[in-house]
Amino acid sequence: MQELTFLSAQEMARRVRMRQVSAVELLDAHLQQVARNNVRLNALVTLDETRARARAREADAALSRGEEWGPLHGVPLTIKDAFETTGLRTTSGFERLVDYVPRRDATVVARLKSAGAVVMGKTNLPRLALDTQTHNTVFGRTNNPWDVERTPGGSSGGGAVAVAAGMSPLEVGSDIGGSIRIPSHYCGVFGLKPTDGRIPLSGHIPGMPGSPRGVRHQGVAGPLARTVDDLRLALRLLSGPDGQDTEMPPVPFQEVPRRDLRSYRFVWTDDFGGMPVSAETRAALAGLARTLEGAGCVVERRSPGIDFEQSWNAWGRLLGAEVGSEIPVQARLMTALHFRSMRGDSAINRGIVRGLWGRMVDYTQALTVRDQMMATVEGFLEGWDAWLCPVTVGSAFTHRPSGDWVEVDARRVPYMEGTSGFCNLFNLTGHPVVVLPLPPASGRTLPLGVQVVGRRWKDEALLSVAEALAEVAGPFRRPPNV
């Protein structure tokens, strides 16, 4: 039964539809996997076993009547604890919400249920999803399945661990500065940060339930999975306007067939403004480039010509201004002190603090920089199918206080740049990104991923590129001892 839990979500659904396994048996296999691993990893923080069992029984009964609910019929999965779930506690890792039970589902949750999914639990995250590690005072720390002394990243860290450890085949996370991509990279799974505006964030915390929506840029919802094909299915199920997030354009999902690998053109870089990356990251990315060249692809190493200090600062100013608009003065002061106290002089931290206390002119200036960066990245991608670059400065690091240094071989870099510095540019510009695991190398025991960046609104084409790349880089690898 344990091997069932490492199938793709679509293969699980196929076996349920073909009566090769029942939805109840599939749920039992996942609950057993949770029982084996969750005490050690602390990925799932709220388990909804009673209602999940009832839903699985309903799924089996529906099939016996010849009814199919959708492409995820009977598949158990998890949801990041930032998304509201009807009748199921949703805390966003925040002490004031420890007993909050929503009366509605977030849009992404409702759409997964409509596709036949069985929601069996919620996964851990940092407090209000505002960190690149996963720990909070409500549920404690989540551990990386490859090495429990290391972080799984954040803020969708619990979800990445659940997927990597076979406790869930599919997770919905959120990402405002790398929160899907960093955990995918650290835990060795696939993740999609879609174009800003493809998937509704309605029902996501923050903002606080019932409060005005302050965060209107840079944040997205997106899936984590063990195959690119499951990411594609999730995008198809989750994307499109919901009547609540009124700024979402009606961009229809379109299937884009995969081309021959040799027809793709790739540009790559491991240099973002001189920020260091580990030697193993540099070697892995260069090795992928050589493999693609050997397969007949056009591959070129090129600098994007971006002022990364400016982009990091603008990202921070927008985040600080929009998050700050939702919280009282005292909370804003504490948030500013937290970012000021971090080790090192970081353009990201300076931007966040400035945004928290900024005037409207500062906010509009940051939006203007966003416009400029968006055009620059779009121009850089002209003529290329994808841009390959690191996810972070290295593999998963050991647990530490938020804001401590991040080591890169013999060097140290500020915390936010060491974790989010390669990611947040694409939140600022809204470009879609797939993270896929790179092939293992001699002497490397921890996963490494690569960001595969595509043009805005071309998410489906990007997924086709990523699927071709995954055949070169290899499939998901199961962590030891799970």
Using CA atoms, how far apart are residues 139 and 91, in angstroms rounded to an integer? 10
Q: Which of 179, 184, 202, 395 is catalytic?
A: 179
Look up residue 395 and give its DSSP letter.
Answer: S
Q: Which 8-state DSSP code applies to residue 397?
A: P
Coil, strand, or helix at residue 110?
helix
179 is catalytic: yes
For residue 463, give the nearest of 437, 433, 439 by alpha carbon.
Answer: 433
Rounded to whole angstroms, how far apart are CA atoms 240 and 248? 7
Residue 348 CA to residue 421 CA, distance in Å, equals 8
In Å, the largest CA–CA distance within the chain is 63
Spatial distance between the Cα atoms of 322 and 217, rounded to a whole number of angstroms: 8
Q: Exactly one of 8, 92, 122, 155 is catalytic; which is it? A: 155
**Helix (H) and strand (E) counts for the chain?**
15, 15
- Whole-angstrom Cα distance, residue 447 to residue 438? 7
Per-residue pLDDT of the chain (482 residues; tens, 9 = 90+): 668 999 999 999 999 999 999 999 999 999 999 999 999 999 999 999 999 999 999 999 999 999 999 999 999 999 999 999 999 999 999 999 999 999 999 999 999 999 999 999 999 999 999 999 999 999 999 999 999 999 999 999 999 999 999 999 999 999 999 999 999 999 999 999 999 999 999 999 998 898 888 899 999 999 999 999 999 999 999 999 999 988 899 999 999 999 999 999 999 999 898 899 999 999 999 999 999 999 999 999 999 999 999 999 999 999 999 999 988 888 889 999 999 999 999 999 999 999 999 899 999 999 999 999 999 999 999 999 999 999 999 999 999 999 999 999 999 999 999 999 999 999 999 999 999 999 988 888 999 999 999 999 999 999 999 999 999 999 999 999 99
| CB contact at 8 A, 418 and 389 | no
Helix (H, G, I), strand (E, B) or coil at 464: helix
**Does the annotation mark 155 as catalytic?**
yes
Active site residue 278: no
Pick from 156, 126, 148: nearest CA to 139 = 126
What's the predicted TM-score (pTM) here?
0.98
First-last CA distance in the chain? 13
Give dist(CA 453, CA 195) in Å, integer. 10
List the domains of the chain with CATH numbers.
Answer: 2-238 (3.90.1300.10), 266-426+439-445 (3.90.1300.10)
Cα–Cα distance, 471 to 325 (Å, whole number): 45
Question: Tokens representing 469?
Answer: 């790349």
Helix pair angle (9-17, 49-64), 10° resolution: 50
Cβ neighbours of residue 284 under 8 Å, at least 6 residues apart? 438, 439, 441, 444, 448, 450
